[in-house]
Chains A and B, each alone.
Chain A
Amino acid sequence: MPTGDTLQASSGTGDTVWVERDPFIDRIPRPIAISILVFGVVALWWIVTRLAIVSPIILPSPAETGADLVFVGSNLTSGGYVLDAFITTTLTVIYAFLIAVGLGFCLGTLVGETKFGERAVMPILVAIDTMPKVAFAPLFIAWLGFGISSKVALAAFIATFPVVVSTAAGLYAATENERFLFKSMGASRLQTLIRLKLPTGLPYVFTGLKIAAVGVMAGAITGEFLGGGKGVGALIRVSASQLDTPRVFSLIIYLSFLGLAMFMFVVWVQRTFVFWNKPDKIGGVG
C-alpha cells in the first residue's frame, strides 16, 4: 500500500458513502398505496351521498353497497341463485374465450403467413370488425336461442378480431436476418413458421389474448342484457329495473373479480411460456 496521501480511497476516513433516496410517493409499498387510494375514493363517495347531492337510487351510500356486497357474497358462497348466475357467466366467458383464441389464432396465422390470407381474408375481417358487433346480438339469439350459446357466440365474435390482428402482427415480428438464418439452414416453410415466427410472435399474441379476455366479459354481459337467460347480466338488468342500485353495484364489483381473474390467468400463462420476453410491466399486470 503506497503511503502517498493521494491514495485515501480505501482508508476508512476517506470514504464518502451516500445513498440515493426515492421521493416519498415512490416509496409507498403497493398494499398501502392501493389502500390509500381505495379509502380516498370511498371517503369521497361517502361525502357525496352524505350531503345528499344525488338521490340514493342513483348513487347508494358505501354502507348500503357494503351490506349488499356481504349479502351477495354469502349467497355466492352458500350456493344461492347468485352463484348459479356467476357459474353461467363464467362458463359463457370461458367458452367464448376458447373459441376466440382458437379461431383468432388460426385466422391470424392464415393472414400473417399466406398472401391469400393477407389479400382476401384480412380486408373482409376488417370490414366485419368495423360493424357494430353488438347489433348482431338479435341475430345470434334468433339463430341460437335464449340459452348460453347465443351469449357465447356474441362474446366470441367480439373477442376474435384482436387475436387475429395480434397473431398476424406477431408473425411479421421476426427480423429479416432471422428469416435468412432459417433459410440458410434449409428450413422448410412450416419449420420457419413453427420454430421461428410463432415463438417470436408470442408476445404479440398475448397482447391480443389480454384484449380478448376483457372483450369476452363485455360480450357475455351484453348478451345477457339483451337475451336474458340465467347469467349475471340478466340479474343486473332485473335489479336495475327494480331500482335496486346497491345490488347492481355489488354485482358489478364481483364481476370485475371475474374479469380480473381472466386477465391475470393470461398474464400468468404468458410469464410461464414466454419467459424470455419480460412484458413491460405496469403495476405488475403486464
Chain B
Amino acid sequence: MYSIERLTKVYSRNQLRAIDDVNLVLGRGEFASVIGPSGCGKSTLLKVMAGLIPPTSGRVVLEQQPVMGPRADIGMMFQQATLLPWKTTIENVVLPIEVRRGRAAARDATARARELLELVGLGEATDVYPGELSGGMAQRAAICRMLITNPAVLLLDEPFSALDELTRDFMNMEFQRICMERHATAFLVTHSIPEAVILSDRIYVMQANPGRIADVVEIGLPRPRTLDMINTARFGEVVSQIRAKLDREGFL
C-alpha cells in the first residue's frame, strides 16, 4: 500500500501552492496515471512521493513506513534518460547499487544488469557509452537502472514523451510487461491521454492553481493490455471522457 494523505506543497521561494490537499491510495501492483495541464504540479507531486523534496503538510506512506527522504524501494525515472556519459550502459545501470553499497556490490550486480538489459533488447549495447545510444535505447537503459534495485514502487515523470510514437508504443507495452512480471506499483505522469488509458487501472485528472485532483477515472480494460485495444469502443469512450474533463477545466 502506497498512500498519499492530505499532501500540500507550497514552494517557499515564491509562496506558490504547487499541490493542494492531494489524497490517493495505490494498492500493490496497481498502475495509476496522472494527467493534467502543464504547471499543475504533477512533477512536484512525484518528487514529494519519491522523498526528493519535503511536503509542506500531509504525508506519504509506503508499506506502513512514512517516506522521509529517498528510499531504495522507490524507483524514479525522468523525461530525460540522464545517463552519465563517462560510464558505459552497464555501468550506468549498476550506478544505484554502486552509490548505495559500493563498487564490490556493483560488480556483483553486473550479471543481473546484463539480464535486465537483454530483457529490454539492449544485450548488444552493454559496453557502449550513452553517446552512441538512440533516445529510445537510452530510455530503456534508464528503465534498467531504475529496476536494478528491485523497487516496489516505480514513479515515472513523462518517461517516453521525448520518443517518437512507434518507439513509445513499444516501450509502453514493454513497460506494462515489466510491471506485471514484478508486481510493481507504478505511478505515471503523462500528457498523452491514450498512453494513460492503455497503461492504467486508474487515471487521476489534475487541475492547476492550486494543483489538485479534479477527477478519478477507473479504466476497467482487461489485462494484459494490447495495442489493438486502442480500436475498441471502451477505449474510445474513456479517452473522450477524459478529454471532455480536461476541456471543461479549460486546458489542453
A interface list, Cβ under 8 A from B: 175, 177-178, 180-187, 191, 195-196, 199, 275-277
Across the interface, do B82 and A178 meet the contact criterion of CB distance under 8 Å? Answer: yes
Name the distance in Å between A57's Cβ and chain B's nearest Cβ.
Answer: 55
Bound form: Cα–Cα A191–B106 in Å: 15
Question: Most chain-B CB neighbours within 10 Å: which of A184, A199, A275?
Answer: A184
Cβ of B37 < 8 Å from any Cβ of A?
Answer: no
In the bound complex, residues from chain B placing their C-beta under 8 Å from that of A182 are 99
Cβ-defined contact, B86 with A184, below 8 A: no
A196/B70 in contact, CB under 8 A: no
Q: Is the C-beta of B80 less than 8 angstroms from some C-beta in chain A? A: yes
Residues in A with CB closer than 8 Å to B136 are: none
- Known contacts A187-B99, A195-B99, A276-B131; is-contact A181 B70 (Cβ 8 Å): no
A14 to B74, CA, bound (A): 60
**CB of B66 within 8 A of chain A?**
no
Q: Is B119 an interface residue (CB 8 A)?
A: no
- Bound-complex Cα distance A178 to B76 (A): 12
Residues of B within 8 A of A184 (CB): 50-52, 70, 74-76
Interface: B84 (CB within 8 A): yes
Cβ 8 A contact of A199, one of B86, B100, B131: B86
**Which of B50, B70, B80, B129 is within 8 Å of A177, CB to CB?**
B80
Binding site for A on B (CB under 8 A): 47, 50-52, 69-72, 74-76, 78-80, 82, 84-86, 95-96, 99-100, 129, 131
Q: Known: A180-B47, A276-B129. Contact between A185 and B70, CB under 8 A?
A: yes
Contacts of B95 in A (CB 8 A): 185
Interface pairs (18), CB distance under 8 Å: A175-B82, A177-B79, A177-B80, A177-B82, A178-B82, A180-B47, A180-B76, A181-B76, A181-B78, A181-B82, A182-B99, A183-B70, A191-B99, A195-B84, A199-B84, A276-B85, A276-B129, A277-B85
Query: Are B85 and A180 neighbours in the complex by a CB distance under 8 Å?
Result: no
- Contact of A185 with B52 at beta-carbon distance under 8 Å, contacts A177-B78, A276-B85 already known: no
CA of A251 to CA of B76, assembled, Å: 61
What 8 A-B pairs are tightest by C-beta distance, nearest first?
Answer: A276-B85, A185-B99, A185-B96, A177-B78, A184-B76, A187-B99, A276-B86, A177-B82
Contact of A186 with B99 in the complex, beta carbons under 8 Å: yes
**B86 to A186, Cβ gap below 8 A?**
no
How many cross-chain pairs have Cβ atoms below 8 Å apart between A and B? 48
Q: How far is the CB of B84 from chain A (nearest CB, A)?
A: 7
Check A183 against B52 for contact (C-beta < 8 Å): yes
Q: State how many angstroms separate the Cβ of A114 from the closest Cβ of chain B.
A: 20
Complex Cα gap A183–B53 (Å): 10
Q: Cα distance A126–B149 when bound, in Å?
A: 45
Closest to B157 in A: A177
Contacts of B100 in A (CB 8 A): 185-186
Within 8 Å CB of A277, what residues of B? 85
With a CB–CB cut-off of 8 A, which chain B residues contact A195?
84, 99
CB of B31, distance to nearest CB on chain A (Å): 20
Minimum CB distance partner of B95 in chain A: A185
Q: How far is the CB of A276 from chain B (nearest CB, A)?
A: 4
Q: Which residue of the partner chain, among B72, B78, B79, B82, contacts A186 with CB atoms under 8 Å?
A: B72
A40 to chain B, nearest CB (A): 40
Provide the bound-state CA to CA distance between A183 and B85, in Å. 18
Distance of A181 Cα from B75 Cα, bound (Å): 10
A180's nearest neighbour on chain B, judged by CB, is B52
Residues from chain A with Cβ under 8 Å of B84 in the complex: 195-196, 199
Residues of B near A175 (CB, < 8 A) are 80, 82
CA distance A171 to B9 in the complex (A): 28
Q: How far is the CB of B148 from chain A (nearest CB, A)?
A: 10
| Residues of B close to A191: CB separation below 8 A | 99
- Which A residues lie within 8 Å of B74 (CB)? 184
Q: How far is the CB of A284 from chain B (nearest CB, A)?
A: 20
A204 to chain B, nearest CB (A): 14
Task: State A196–B87 Cα separation when bound (angstroms).
Answer: 11
CB nearest neighbor in A for B78? A177
Q: Which of B50, B79, B95 has the most CB of A within 10 A?
A: B95
Q: Could you tell me the distance between the alpha carbons of A184 and B80 in the complex, rounded to whole angstroms?
A: 15
Q: In the bound complex, how far is the Cα of B72 from the Cα of A3, in angstroms?
A: 64
Partner of A180 from B69, B78, B96, B129 at Cβ < 8 Å: B78
In the complex the two chains form, what is the Cα distance from A95 to B78 in whole Å?
A: 45
- List B contacts of A180 (CB < 8 A): 47, 52, 76, 78
- Give, as a whole number of angstroms, the nearest-CB distance from A95 to chain B: 30
B70 touches A186 (CB 8 A): yes
